Structure 1
Amino acid sequence: MKQRQQSHVWSPSLGGWGVLLLLLCISSVVFASPITGLLERIDKGASRKFIIEQVKSDNDFFELDRKGEKVVIRGNNYVSIATGLNWYLKYYAGIHLSWNGMTAKLPDVMLLVLKKERHETSLPYRYGLNYCTFSYSMAFWDWERWEKEIDWMALHGINLPLAITGAETVWYNVLKRLDYSKEEINEFISGPGFFAWWLMNNLEGWGGPNPDSWYKQQVALQKKILKRMREYGIEPVYPGYCGMVPNNAKDKLGLNVSDPGIWCGYRRPAFLQPDDPRFEEISTIYYKELEKLYGKANYYSMDPFHEGGNTAGVDLDAAGKAVMKAMKKANPKAVWVAQAWQNNPRPKMIDNLNQGDLLVLDLYSESRPQWGDPESSWYRKNGFGKHNWIYCMLLNYGGNVGLFGKMDNVINGYFLAKADPHASKTLKGVGMTPEGIENNPVMYELVMELPWHDRPFKKEDWLRRYVIARYGKENVNLQVAWDKLGNSIYNAPKAHVQQGTHESVFCARPGLDVYQVSSWSEMKDYYKPQEVIEAARLMLSAADEFRGNNNFEYDLVDIVRQAVAEKGRLMQKVVASAYRAGDKELFALASQKFLNLILLQDELLGTRSEFRVGKWINEAKALGHTPEEKQLYEWNARVQIATWGNRMAADNGGLRDYAHKEWNGILKDFYYMRWKTYFEHLSQLMDGQNPQKIDFYAIEEPWTKATNPYTTEPVGDCIDTAKKVFAEISSH
């Protein structure tokens, strides 16, 4: 046998070089395992420290085991194996891979698993992302950043993520086939900072027109994204066709359309009526162009009439069936993925669809579940009926910065749904659907672990393990700090429905009674600020011991930032009281202290690149090939986090400051400027003058159009700066 094998390898057709070529091919096949690549990206040489085993199973599972002196990670597919790897790294090796750091130095000798540990789930789906995430966090990502994110997804078990990068090119090609000119197409497609709301049928054109190079580079990027996802066995969710057409389609194409109305000051695209003879034609063109660029998918996301779209004159039953028919024509096995948000998906649109053809994302399960919880303000009797659904945590709105969570309710809500006689029958997974990521890593770690726990657990027990995993070793003060955070700012009550973090008053449009920043926050006090401030003090007490620990330093800056924001809210109330009392001396003193807090915040956040506005702006500019392109992308980046829209949308539509960011650079140059202008206005009023009313939009817009440089690299030592900043706020 051995001689025959050698004879075959050295055959004349291969020659002496054939062996080398064959060995290289074999080697590349072995290395082609996505887990091998993942491990090598985490730490070069790490793949040699593990044995990876794939075993068939009806349910997703992973096992941690040992063979000799090596760690075994076993699972039924690559995503399960990656999830097991992450579990091992966290709970055995004390290594937590996070958005603030996706690499680590693994020990030379890995801690062995003394007793086999197995985790299994009967829920097939772990969903990831939200349309908004693609704009608030991912708008200007390159492949290097996307590669890290796909690794993060696999490590956290995500096997069903939204994948809408490059969708604008699909639409470009569709409209071209419908005889739209290049100029007309670019009047319809939005700019890169606003694709989410264009794809969700909320607006047209805002932020554009896009240069030709944008379309080309996004197609190339999406193809890389999809290739890596498929290597892992991750199923991408494409944007499907749900009847959207440009507003001028009625006149230009003679289509029978309805008008979904206005969204926050922007006219929505038109909705093509399902009985229009061209509905099938246009939907077919769409799916063909989508497949031509990116291949088929088994899941398509569609949300007609998203966020208050007017359905007057639309036969919703017929519309749902038309959307489903078009998707099934493209792929008979495909599933429609719909976001449960406000009134969507409309019951009349989905009631008569077949069971198994629709998968509903209960987008805001932690606060306004629609699966059938009778205590929910968005209660749906019988939930989603016969249709499958996923328990999702939204958590973040607008990509805003700030500590926030509903730990108890995220855990309890999931197990409540699992125990519900009706909802449990159609519950098929867990998901994270934030509007913005790269914040609050603790909450995403928690929600994505849920399906791997077979019984309810206490957040206190989970947090103790998390803190050790996060920082690599145990420390009493850090445990106490996180207990305080876990029982205060990270544990908003079940009944609270506020949209994300308790917003920083620094970022608000100034006013005497200012409380929340964005228009729809629905904030309510639910924690004691002193608990956060004390947690910051405890973190600082351990700072020298953990100096150089990346996760610790990131969290330290974030928690001290929150403490400064708490002091700012208290100081703003002093300013307002002094003004109302006519106490000029106290007003001058308090207003200056408030402004100094903003500058302290700016200095602190400048020590980490994650909290620098320069990172966001420079990512945008880097995608441009010409000065004009760089300027367009920079404007998209700036306007989104400031006014968001034009004057009408910002002021009357409520969008201004929706995506506010407590970041270095914008704090000093935008928020500080705004508050300083307001305090000067109040001071003039106190002096008996009659100053002109402040036109806030007029003083905000220039920053969105500016091109002054911001750096990405951190400035200063984060621990020393955090100590200095905390000492100063403690003396106030």
Structure 2
Amino acid sequence: MKKLLLLLCLLSAGVSMSASPITGLLERIDKGASKKFIIEQQKSDTDFFELDQKGDKVVIRGNNYVSIATGLNWYLKYHAGIHLSWNGMAAPLPATLPAVKQKERHETTLPYRYDLNYCTFSYSMAFWDWNRWEKEIDWMALHGINLSLALTGTESVWKNVLDKLGYTKAEINEFVAGPAFTAWWLMNNLEGWGGPNPDSWYAQQEALQKKIVKRMREYGIEPVLPGYCGMVPHNAKEKLGLNVSDPGLWCSYRRPAFLQPEDERFDEISTLYYKELAKLYGKSDFYAIDPFHEGGSTDGVNLDAAGKAIMRAMKKANPKSTWVAQAWQANPRTPMIENLNAGDLLVLDLHSECRPQWGDPSSEWYRKNGYGQHEWVYCMLLNFGGNIGLHGKMDAVINGFYDAKADAHAGQTLRGVGLTPEGIENNAMMYELAMELPWRAERFTRNEWLESYVRARYGVDDEALQQAWQLLGGGIYNSPKDKIQQGTHESVFCARPGLDVYQASSWSEMKDYYNPQEVMEAARLMVSVADKYKGNNNFEFDLVDVLRQALAEKGRLMQKAVTAAYRAGDKPLFELASQRFLQLILLQDKLLATRSEFRVGSWIEAARSLGNTPEEKALYEWNARVQITTWGNRVAANQGGLRDYAHKEWNGILKDFYYMRWKTFFDTLTQKLDGKQVPELDFYALEEPWTKATDIYSSKAEGDCVSVAKEIVKELF
């Protein structure tokens, strides 16, 4: 008891705590870094961090570990010019840290900073190991995340539940999706696609999830575990005699069934689910529950009763828990939530920067009364399908947050800011912007924030880099509020070929909103100072990324020239333009080879590395290849519209998949210009062989990005 009292006294006095997750974080950033800081934890009614100085050491002060980590990141960015991001979570710190000349304090009254979308677990995290997850949890803490979705290892929960309900091993494997498609299984969109999973997959993911939630809890990040949403296998009526409804199809895939709340076994099955979940990963104060996601039919379902039954089951598992629901399309259905108690539901306004539902009357998905009595989080989705491409809505993100905060109704129930991307590891700037919002009390402008970001990103104040980013920030990174599109302006390189091709995926809803010449000028400006910043990791990553975008812009213009030449019947011009278009794909492939982050080999190697046998490695590689190309089988790819949804501008796939499609298409057009009768191309037949191939792609970077960038700029300009 005396030791406990002493510890509490030390904490309240703000005495340095050396044995903390912050020590490990600092040592992973740079060995020995923990000795350069003084870390102090103080009690506070609101989350805060302070930057201060004691002698030659920088003081990071906060009310908990996440606040302290946020303060550390703020110091590194805005005082030391060190930006930790997905392309580099470690950096050498100077022997003597830049001093904090005047104490700086930031605080927020918003309790939650949320992270992740179901889709992120498949489009980005499908094949992560603990080493990669450890970096991501550090990233979360540094960016103030204190509430995060934690879905890894849910396969084991369902395996145990179904086993106890009498399902055989084969039947369980027909229900559980494969590694690259777990997200859509857990959102009740499909069953089994990508499987069957070997026994080792269940064991590996279970062990990994235990490490993930342990580290999250050490930081004070609350894991949002998957709660029970009423999902049961589609054959539960025949197998178990349950009263179920059929939610229909999703992109041609059969959805799991929904267990009716009136069924006398609802309580039994939901209790069993939470028991197995807690046995593996402990209880949570937050559970993600999303029935009828993305168009699931609710015919014959009493939504009020369903909402109450789901809530009752969750509260039985943990009376203190909160239901976390994604606001996407019609979800959460108003009849399902309107009679639930305030404080028991936290709604993620999933696409606040584009389709806010919190009560903004200008929104396409406007809800007049927002979420009623329920608390909600302002979220930025930004990325769809894990696609590569510069994209953002800077003004919309900034102003939307402060508008929501000031709204007479929505502002009263706003409880935080969240990141809900389908894929990560790109457009780092936008995520920095979103996660700084709760720590900045006053509305600010895009230009002033961007200027400070560029200095932090590269550790220098360079006029050419500032000019480049002002062009990007005012153009491609500033899609207007009224422009509705799913993520980046997609590259035509990645689209199924056609004469009038515009977007790569089925639901992009792209509209021109920026000047492509500004992207090319930004790329030229970055190349003009490339020799000066050679070896600067952040600069080299951005150089490749911005120039990749410039090549995509050039490709879009050249594709139009190809079409014009073909329609004019000008064969020499058509051959010249089509060859130039194909050359641009190969140039982009060569450029992206210089960074491991832009190589398909990194994705495939990660998948194969999780396999313990040749058969397992082959299954995981097939999952990896299918997801980023056809996504599904022939019907799902074509009629279901899923093909190319997760397309990637990556080295390797550009040369061997996208180049192949376009060249085959151009060859057929050449034959038509020669007057030959040519059958329509069966694109799926062209695409499927790559998904089944096992040729080796390396993750290792090849070539010098600065030299290659200079070569490409000579070609472009």
Q: TM-score range by the shorter chain?
A: over 0.9
Corresponding position: 1:357 with 2:344: yes
Instruction: Tell me how far apart the structure 1 counterparts of residues 549 and 527 of structure 2 sit (CA, whole Å).
Output: 14
Corresponding position: 1:253 with 2:257: no
Residue 157 of structure 2 aligns to which amino acid in structure 1? V
**Pick aligned residue for 1:318 from 286, 293, 305:** 305
Aligned to 2:400: 413
With the length of structure 1 as denominator, give the TM-score of the two structures. 0.96
CA-CA distance at 1:554 after TM superposition: 0.1
Instruction: Tell me how far apart the structure 1 counterparts of residues 712 and 201 of structure 2 sit (CA, whole Å).
Output: 42
Instruction: Tell me how far apart the structure 2 counterparts of residues 473 and 694 of structure 1 sit (CA, whole Å).
Output: 52
Aligned to 1:52: 39
For the Cα contact (< 8 Å) 2:565–2:573, is it kept in 1? yes
CA-CA distance at 1:259 after TM superposition: 0.3
Aligned to 1:71: 58
Corresponding position: 1:608 with 2:595: yes
Q: Which string of whole-angstrom CA distances, capped at 9 and with x for unpartnered residues, describes residues 67-87 of structure 1?
A: 122100000000000000000
Instruction: Tell me how far apart the structure 2 counterparts of residues 723 and 384 of structure 1 sit (CA, whole Å).
Output: 52
Aligned to 1:550: 537
Instruction: Tell me how far apart the structure 2 counterparts of residues 67 and 684 of structure 1 sit (CA, whole Å).
Output: 76
**Pick aligned residue for 2:326 from 339, 360, 370:** 339
**Pick aligned residue for 2:471 from 472, 479, 484:** 484
**Pick aligned residue for 2:453 from 462, 466, 488:** 466
CA-CA distance at 1:449 after TM superposition: 0.4
Corresponding position: 1:382 with 2:341: no
Summarize the alignment of residues 404-553 of structure 1 with structure 2, pairs less than 5 Å apart.
Answer: 404-553=391-540
Instruction: Tell me how far apart the structure 2 counterparts of residues 32 and 625 of structure 1 sit (CA, whole Å).
Output: 36
Instruction: Tell me how far apart the structure 2 counterparts of residues 637 and 312 of structure 1 sit (CA, whole Å).
Output: 35
**Pick aligned residue for 1:206 from 182, 188, 193:** 193
Residue 566 of structure 1 aligns to which amino acid in structure 2? E
Aligned to 2:676: 689
Instruction: Tell me how far apart the structure 2 counterparts of residues 696 and 60 of structure 1 sit (CA, whole Å).
Output: 54
Instruction: Tell me how far apart the structure 1 counterparts of residues 395 and 556 of structure 2 sit (CA, whole Å).
Output: 26
Aligned to 2:335: 348
**Pick aligned residue for 1:234 from 178, 197, 221:** 221
Q: Secondary structure at the match of 1:193?
A: helix
Q: Which string of whole-angstrom CA distances, capped at 9 and with x for unpartnered residues, describes residues 442-485 of structure 1?
A: 00000000000001000100001000000011100000000000
CA-CA distance at 1:31 after TM superposition: 5.3
Instruction: Tell me how far apart the structure 1 counterparts of residues 306 and 396 of structure 2 sit (CA, whole Å).
Output: 36
Residue 427 of structure 2 aligns to which amino acid in structure 1? N
Instruction: Tell me how far apart the structure 2 counterparts of residues 429 and 168 of structure 1 sit (CA, whole Å).
Output: 30
Summarize the alignment of residues 129-140 of structure 1 with structure 2, pairs less than 5 Å apart.
Answer: 129-140=116-127
Instruction: Tell me how far apart the structure 2 counterparts of residues 502 and 475 of structure 1 sit (CA, whole Å).
Output: 28
Q: Which string of whole-angstrom CA distances, capped at 9 and with x for unpartnered residues, describes residues 23-81 of structure 1?
A: xxxxxx96541000000000000000000000000000000001122100000000000
Q: Which string of whole-angstrom CA distances, capped at 9 and with x for unpartnered residues, describes residues 102-129 of structure 1?
A: 0000000001111100000000000000
Instruction: Tell me how far apart the structure 1 counterparts of residues 252 and 692 of structure 2 sit (CA, whole Å).
Output: 21
Aligned to 1:19: none
Q: Secondary structure at the match of 1:365?
A: coil
For the Cα contact (< 8 Å) 2:17–2:39, is it kept in 1? no
**Pick aligned residue for 1:95 from 82, 85, 94:** 82
Instruction: Tell me how far apart the structure 1 counterparts of residues 660 and 457 of structure 2 sit (CA, whole Å).
Output: 37
CA-CA distance at 1:417 after TM superposition: 0.2
Q: Which string of whole-angstrom CA distances, capped at 9 and with x for unpartnered residues, describes residues 116-153 of structure 1?
A: 00000000000000000000000000000000000000
Instruction: Tell me how far apart the structure 2 counterparts of residues 691 and 484 of structure 1 sit (CA, whole Å).
Output: 45
**Pick aligned residue for 1:398 from 376, 385, 388:** 385
| Structure 1 residues not aligned, in runs of 5+ | 6-28
For the Cα contact (< 8 Å) 1:31–1:37, is it kept in 2? no
CA-CA distance at 1:251 after TM superposition: 0.2
Corresponding position: 1:644 with 2:631: yes
Q: Secondary structure at the match of 1:71?
A: strand
CA-CA distance at 1:601 after TM superposition: 0.4
CA-CA distance at 1:727 after TM superposition: 1.1
Q: Which string of whole-angstrom CA distances, capped at 9 and with x for unpartnered residues, describes residues 392-419 of structure 1?
A: 0000000000000000010000000001
**Pick aligned residue for 1:182 from 169, 193, 198:** 169
Instruction: Tell me how far apart the structure 2 counterparts of residues 209 and 436 of structure 1 sit (CA, whole Å).
Output: 24
Aligned to 2:548: 561
Q: CA RMSD in A?
A: 0.9
Q: Which string of whole-angstrom CA distances, capped at 9 and with x for unpartnered residues, describes residues 486-506 of structure 1?
A: 000000000011000000000
Q: Secondary structure at the match of 1:87?
A: helix
Corresponding position: 1:589 with 2:612: no
Instruction: Tell me how far apart the structure 2 counterparts of residues 141 and 646 of structure 1 sit (CA, whole Å).
Output: 25
Spell out structure 1 runs of 4+ moving beyond 6 A.
none
Corresponding position: 1:290 with 2:261: no
Instruction: Tell me how far apart the structure 1 counterparts of residues 616 and 137 of structure 2 sit (CA, whole Å).
Output: 28
For the Cα contact (< 8 Å) 1:299–1:336, is it kept in 2? yes
Aligned to 1:18: none
Aligned to 1:279: 266
Indicate the percent of aligned positions where both proteins have the same amino acid: 75
Corresponding position: 1:38 with 2:25: yes
**Pick aligned residue for 1:128 from 107, 112, 115:** 115
Instruction: Tell me how far apart the structure 1 counterparts of residues 18 and 186 of structure 2 sit (CA, whole Å).
Output: 38
Instruction: Tell me how far apart the structure 2 counterparts of residues 626 and 564 of structure 1 sit (CA, whole Å).
Output: 40
Q: Secondary structure at the match of 2:700?
A: coil
Instruction: Tell me how far apart the structure 2 counterparts of residues 470 and 31 of structure 1 sit (CA, whole Å).
Output: 29
Instruction: Tell me how far apart the structure 2 counterparts of residues 267 and 231 of structure 1 sit (CA, whole Å).
Output: 40
Q: Secondary structure at the match of 1:288?
A: helix
Summarize the alignment of residues 610-629 of structure 1 with structure 2, pairs less than 5 Å apart.
Answer: 610-629=597-616
Residue 625 of structure 2 aligns to which amino acid in structure 1? R
Residue 158 of structure 2 aligns to which amino acid in structure 1? W
Instruction: Tell me how far apart the structure 2 counterparts of residues 270 and 230 of structure 1 sit (CA, whole Å).
Output: 34
With the length of structure 2 as denominator, give the TM-score of the two structures. 0.98
Q: Which string of whole-angstrom CA distances, capped at 9 and with x for unpartnered residues, describes residues 645-675 of structure 1?
A: 0000000000000000000000000000000
Instruction: Tell me how far apart the structure 2 counterparts of residues 388 and 332 of structure 1 sit (CA, whole Å).
Output: 18
Residue 148 of structure 2 aligns to which amino acid in structure 1? P
